[in-house]
Amino acid sequence: MKESLYRTLQLLEEADGPVSGEVMAGRLGITRSAVWKQIRELRDQGYGIESSQKEGYRLVSPSRRLLPYSIRKHLKTRVIGQRMLYLPTTPSTNDVARWLTTGGDLDRLHGTIVIAEEQTGGVGRLGRAWVSPEGGIWTTIVLTPTIPIDHVFMVTMAGAIAIARAIRREFGLGAMIKWPNDVLIGDKKVAGLLLELDAEADRINFCLLGIGIDANFDPSVLSPELQQGITTLRAELDEEVDRARLLARVLREFERHYDLLEAQEYEAIVREWRSLSSTLDHHVRVRTLMKSFDGEAIDIDEYGALLVRKENGRIERVIAGDLFHT
Ligand code: BTN
């Protein structure tokens, strides 16, 4: 949002009642017709603004969009999300974030988030399509971690912890993490993470952490097959959630856990992950590229790999694959 528009919005928000065009023009140091243009732009961005010839303009409802301005009001981070790029629609925020890194100053980009109101070509793990209608939270964080590359999966773990904790804190729902990258409520998925990596042999150039949270849409927009395994926050709570506030909380929780990661406090993250895990102690079926087997998920290690005790007593270390709770 442009600085001038932001000032107009702030003026309306802080006013007790309607403000005349003349007073606004005077306070903002612009003409009355410029005020009118700004009001039109704010309405285009979804703000409800009443106007009457006698009294002037009055803000009656905030925008329902996930605008940077609304997120910033709640944001308590140092770096993560301090720069935001908002798009009403885009194929995938991960693609936009990758595009930003092309020729961009990576150090400056660290912590930048790309947000979209809807994605037309959202991507999930293993190249699967990720349905991303309006009302969800679709965002990608650009990161330049300095951790050893073999710990990079822990970035996803920090993201999953952040989402589960934020949902618990904001709404009191019992969100849990399913290895490797799902956040569940009950046995239904409410959020997923996708980590894309750009690295050389032993060093990470950057990574893109895509976060999808099924917030304010009706699950009936999904195919019947998807509906079986997916829930939304709105469906769980029977009311719309404040997406800006939730995302700000997710970013704050993420920054806290990302800082632990950078400080090589791996055990602290593993401990937190364990306490939020719905996978541990569960009977699971693991499907990797090479094989498929059943067993009991007994732990994760400090790289985020899942340890599964097979029926013959042998322990398998799983670093990637599909997992089913059985
Ligand atoms: C999964 O569970 O398979 C991962 C889903 C990740 C979805 C997010 S939404 C924002 C970002 N953009 C994408 O295209 N995908 C990720």
Ordered per-residue pLDDT tens for the chain, 326 residues: 777 888 899 899 989 889 999 999 999 999 999 999 999 999 998 999 999 988 999 999 989 899 999 999 999 999 999 999 999 999 999 999 999 999 889 999 999 999 999 999 999 998 899 999 999 999 999 999 999 999 999 999 999 999 999 999 999 999 999 999 999 999 999 999 999 999 998 889 999 999 999 999 999 999 999 999 999 999 999 999 999 999 999 999 999 999 999 999 999 999 999 999 999 999 999 998 889 999 999 999 989 999 999 999 999 999 988 999 98
Q: Is the CB of 136 under 6 A from ligand 1?
A: no
Where does residue 119 rank: exposed (0-12), middle (13-18), buried (19+ CB within 10 A)? Answer: buried
Ligand 1 centroid from CA 124, angstroms: 5
Residue nearest (by alpha carbon) to ligand 1 atom 7? 212
Q: Is the CB of 125 under 6 A from ligand 1?
A: yes
Q: Is the CB of 194 under 6 A from ligand 1?
A: yes
Q: Is the CB of 179 under 6 A from ligand 1?
A: no
Cα separation, 262 vs 155, in Å, equals 10
Ligand 1 centroid from CA 214, angstroms: 11
Cα separation, 156 vs 70, in Å, equals 26
